[in-house]
Chains A and B, each alone.
Chain A
């Protein structure tokens, strides 16, 4: 991991305000931000681990546990909400037996709730990895999930 991080960190040497881009790149590289990564990055930035952790936990983007194979995001933007986004999330939670922010025990899916992808006209939507599934209903959700299992 140290090797991987060294490559991530090198281009940021001496750059001001690079904390968030570094965390983003590190997460891209490692999939999440494990304790050792926070330690290494804090050392590189000459900041305390607590402060770095405080910054990382402020932003919804950063994860501290290993993600699942597929990133499943349920949109709960306003348009999706008024068109039934909540029951889509309910269905996903029930099917996968996880809550938003968690990963299924078989590491197949990580579930996240997202406030708006800007696909409001196609509401409600879910996004698996990079594919948008539009105009969802509970039964369509089950089909989508099955196609990844």
Chain B
């Protein structure tokens, strides 16, 4: 089939659906939606429709990124704006069917936003919502709006026209277009994509391989997962374009096994592509042939590193090797290989569809375009966002993210996952682009953005990341294998109140050796979380080391829970809920925590009724309390 035929057919099918007058119900059922109960909602909707004998098209869609209020359901009725409902459960789903589908009451009280022509009293436009308004969606252009299991939906929204256009161009022209767009690798390193393609395009050797790196391993990052689950064709089209540009005939998608839904969606998408002649020999009737295989990761973070990833595809231990030779010269099975990350490839298809200049219109001088971030941690509106490069960090956290949960004070934001760093309050106005983040000691990374508030301990966070990299180190080179372990041991000591003067200097010097000496980027960047926290939060380290105090009241060995005898009303709630029976007391006996038994799980602290607030958590101080329970009232 030619592209024109594919498009014609897709548009025709779309119009049939539009004209049928059937209402459409779209349920956000990506992994995040599912963990919030989307499948329950879906089941309820289907059952309810069947019960009432209603005819409606129900579609599972990806995630629009508003993770904090999932599950999200969209209902589109003819001649009405599409209405999005958030926080839908089975109960609400039944109400929506009854009220909106049957009785035509769109329930503005439950609606989150509207999209499309017309408005609805009391319901804002979806993209006017504070979380969505500042966003520019390129990578996420289709996520949550199309059926990821139906190629037609993708094609109707402009899909595969970028490929059709690329096939009219020479590979050199495609590379030129990429250079014009200024797109840089979204996996973290930020190497210009066009230049990378050019290396591989010029390399001698056949076959050439194109690999899509979907081994999204940074804890706290789920951009790639969302795209693969919500819009797999955007990535696959990007792969075809990249393969055409570099002259690759075979491709791999290396996807982590922890993403079963993404793997399933890829499988379906690849099948459909073959049926439509978008994959295989002579794609869209051209001379270009390309085949794709999916490889499932097996649980190793380091396999996100290019050379380790290729070793893993070859069936070896995922241990990185030194470069040169670069993958562009000698990669998978010794052949020229180009590796791009999921988000990069999703941008590629958009760039070829709309032009490099269009893309370069967003962003800063050196960091063009948009970037997705997984916004999580102690921020009010968590979710997946996409913003133009150069946006101030503050705008992401406060306008999009809605600030800190529970009006606590902002402390830091961690970007770049285990390879990145923590940025403090005075960097809130930094522009979010590759150069500025690197200058601040962090990195753009793949896009994890974890917000920390006053109740998060940065020493603990640094220790957390070192623990992660230490466990994920492949063990090959000395600085990474030993250095991360040694740094972790020192940090663990500090969080346990056994820090020594000089520990910070030691960490800085070890960090430098690990950074300069490591074989791959995993080791090279592993010290970043420690180095940045020491840089911006020295006082917090000092409190741990010198005063054996955790200011954020997080480090378990440095905190103590007490029951204040003058406030305890002997209600026994805490005593009953203590998992280790560390609370002594009884009826009309003021409770006392047996510190030798307490595991500091904070359960008592949470269950103590607010009107009593008898339990306190302190660090670096001792509160005088009775050793044994005393009768209530004896205190006075």
Enumerate chain A interface residues (CB-CB to B < 8 A). 16-21, 23-24, 54-55, 58-62, 76-79, 81-84, 87, 90-91, 94-95, 114-123, 125, 132, 134, 137-139, 142
A125 CA / B382 CA spacing, docked (Å): 15
Known: A20-B298, A79-B450, A138-B579. A120 touches B35 (CB 8 A): no
Across-interface contacts of B36 in A (CB, < 8 A): 122, 134
Which of the listed residues A16, A23, A79 has the most CB atoms from chain B within 10 Å of its own CB?
Answer: A79
Please report the C-alpha to C-alpha distance between residue A37 and residue B383 in the assembled complex, in whole angstroms: 43
B76 within 8 A of A: no
Q: CB distance B601 to A78 under 8 Å?
A: no
Q: Are B67 and A120 in contact (CB under 8 A)?
A: yes
Q: Which of A55, A82, A116 contacts B315 (CB 8 A)?
A: A55
B32 & A122 in contact (Cβ 8 Å cutoff) = yes
Chain A residues within 8 Å of B377, by CB: 78-79, 82-83, 120
For A58, give its contact among B220, B300, B456, B606 (CB under 8 Å): B300
9 interchain pairs, CB-CB under 8 A: A21-B296, A59-B318, A115-B472, A118-B225, A120-B376, A120-B377, A121-B32, A121-B376, A138-B603
Given contacts A20-B298, A23-B298, A120-B376, contact A78 B464 (CB under 8 A): yes
Q: Known: A24-B296, A118-B31, A120-B220. Contact between A18 and B315, CB under 8 A?
A: yes
Q: Are A132 and B35 in contact (CB-based, < 8 A)?
A: yes
Contact A115 B317 (CB under 8 A): no
Q: Is the CB of A55 within 8 A of B316?
A: yes
Query: Does B149 lie at the interface of the complex (its beta carbon under 8 Å from any beta carbon of A)?
Result: no
Q: Are A78 and B414 in contact (CB under 8 A)?
A: yes
Chain B residues contacting A139 (CB-CB under 8 Å) are 577, 579, 603, 607
Contact B602 A87 (CB under 8 A): yes
Alpha-carbon distance A78/B31, docked complex (angstroms): 18
B316, B448, B472, B601: which has the most chain A beta carbons within 10 Å?
B601
- Confirm or deny: B68 has a beta carbon within 8 angstroms of a beta carbon on chain A: yes
* Complex Cα–Cα for A139 and B574 (A): 12
- Given A78-B220, A78-B414, A119-B32, the answer on whether A24 and B298 have CB atoms closer than 8 Å is yes
- List the B side residues contacting A121 at CB < 8 Å: 32, 67-68, 70, 376, 382-383
Within 8 A of A (CB), among B287-315: 295-301, 312-315
Decide if B514 is an interface residue (CB 8 Å cutoff).
Answer: no
The answer, yes or no, to whether B374 is at the interface (CB within 8 Å) is yes
Counting chain A CB atoms within 10 Å of each CB, the highest count among B297, B315, B456 belongs to B315
Interface of B toward A, CB cutoff 8 Å: 31-32, 34-36, 67-68, 70, 217-222, 225-226, 257-259, 295-301, 312-319, 333, 374, 376-378, 382-383, 414, 417, 448, 450, 452, 456, 461, 464-465, 468, 472, 474, 577, 579-580, 599-603, 606-607
B599 touches A82 (CB 8 A): no
The 4 closest A-B pairs by CB, nearest first: A19-B315, A60-B299, A118-B222, A121-B67
Option from B219, B222, B333, B378 in Cβ contact (under 8 Å) with A115: B219
List 19 other contacts, CB 8 Å, given A116-B219, A121-B376. A24-B298, A55-B317, A58-B474, A77-B219, A77-B220, A78-B417, A78-B448, A78-B450, A81-B464, A115-B468, A115-B472, A116-B221, A118-B258, A118-B259, A119-B31, A119-B35, A121-B70, A121-B382, A123-B376
In the complex, chain A residues whose CB is within 8 Å of the CB of B450: 78-79, 82
Docked CA distance A132–B29 (Å): 14
Expressed in whole angstroms, the Cα–Cα distance for A134 and B31 within the complex equals 12
Q: In the complex, what residues of B have CB within 8 A of residue A115's CB?
A: 217, 219, 301, 468, 472
Least Cβ–Cβ distance between B487 and chain A, in angstroms: 18
Q: CA A39 – CA B559 in complex, angstroms?
A: 51
Query: By the criterion CB–CB under 8 Å, are B383 and A82 in contact?
Result: no
Give every chain A residue within 8 A of B31 (Cβ-Cβ): 117-119
Q: Are B580 and A58 within 8 A (Cβ)?
A: no
- Nearest Cβ on chain B to A16's Cβ, whole angstroms: 7
B376 contact from A54, A55, A78, A142, Cβ within 8 A = A78
- Give the docked Cα–Cα distance between A19 and B67 (Å): 37
CB–CB A82/B452 < 8 A? yes
Query: Which single residue of chain A is at the shortest CB-CB distance from B382?
Result: A121
Bound-state Cα–Cα, A28 to B115, Å: 44
Q: Which of B217, B298, B602 contacts A62 (CB 8 A)?
A: B298
User: A117–B450 Cα gap in the complex (Å)?
Assistant: 15
